[in-house]
Amino acid sequence: MTMPHDFTDKKITYQDYLHWNQDIICEAIDGVIYNMTPAPTPRHQEIIVNLIFEFKTYLKDKKCKVYTAPIDVCLFAKKETPHDKISNWVQPDFLVVCDKNKIDEKRIIGPPEFIIEILSPSTARADRLLKYNKYEQAGVKEYWIVDPLNETIEIFLLENGSFLRSDVLTKEDTAKVRIFDDYEIQLKNIFAGDEY
């Protein structure tokens, strides 16, 4: 998420976004548009691929689904929410949805159970502040912030409507995915791929 793009001086709704004649992927926080640039780094993509492999292996034959950006996630919406009333949509790097009613043909409607953001210089502020606050308000149960440079993961759990930081882990650690009763990940598997 980079600085707001100057499309207009008014707040943008999801309906406005859907009617643009531009091929652009963006996010909006309280109606302010943020471009999704620059493109992810190879290291970012390695971590995403590792996450997909780990989670898809565990979730085989389970009801939850894994998604990665780009996919619109309308955090505070319900199926019946008109598009002109939606002012917050995001493109999380990685998410898990366990309620099939939140999966629409073109988007996710409502908060995912689990979100991961992978930090980069252009996204760190948004991931730690703007999106963190929106994920908390929307009711995301578990939020991980992955720092590829330091090879750490901060884990936040939603308790009584607020995120509490439960752990800061390194690649030598094992992380329990708390939205599931029996799932732990060796973090060395998430950070694998930087050994060239």
Residue 188 pLDDT more than 80? yes
What pLDDT sits at residue 15? 94
> Which domains, from first to last, does the chain contain?
38-72+91-190 (3.90.1570.10)
- Please tell me the distance from the alpha carbon of residue 146 to that of residue 119, in angstroms, as a whole number: 6
The confidence band for 184, taking pLDDT boundaries of 50, 70 and 90, is very high
String of DSSP letters for 33-100: EEE--SPPPHHHHHHHHHHHHHHHHHHTTSS-EEEESS-EEETT--TTS-GGG---BB--SEEEE--G
User: Tokens at residue 55, please?
Assistant: 């989670």
The confidence band for 8, taking pLDDT boundaries of 50, 70 and 90, is low
Residue 170 pLDDT more than 60? yes
What pLDDT sits at residue 181? 94
Q: Evaluate whether 73 touches 37 at the Cβ level (below 8 Å).
A: no
- Among 158, 11, 168, residue whose Cα is nearest residue 85: 11
User: Tokens at residue 48, please?
Assistant: 């995403």
Q: What angle do CA 185, 188, 189 make, to 5 degrees?
A: 65
pLDDT tens digits for range 19-28: 886 777 889 9
- Please tell me the distance from the alpha carbon of residue 186 to that of residue 184, in angstroms, as a whole number: 7
What pLDDT sits at residue 153? 98
pLDDT tens digits for range 87-145: 999 999 999 999 999 999 999 999 999 999 999 888 888 889 899 999 999 999 999 99
pLDDT tens digits for range 36-87: 667 889 999 999 999 999 999 999 999 999 999 999 999 999 999 999 999 9
- Among 107, 35, 110, 119, residue whose Cα is nearest residue 67: 107
pTM: 0.92
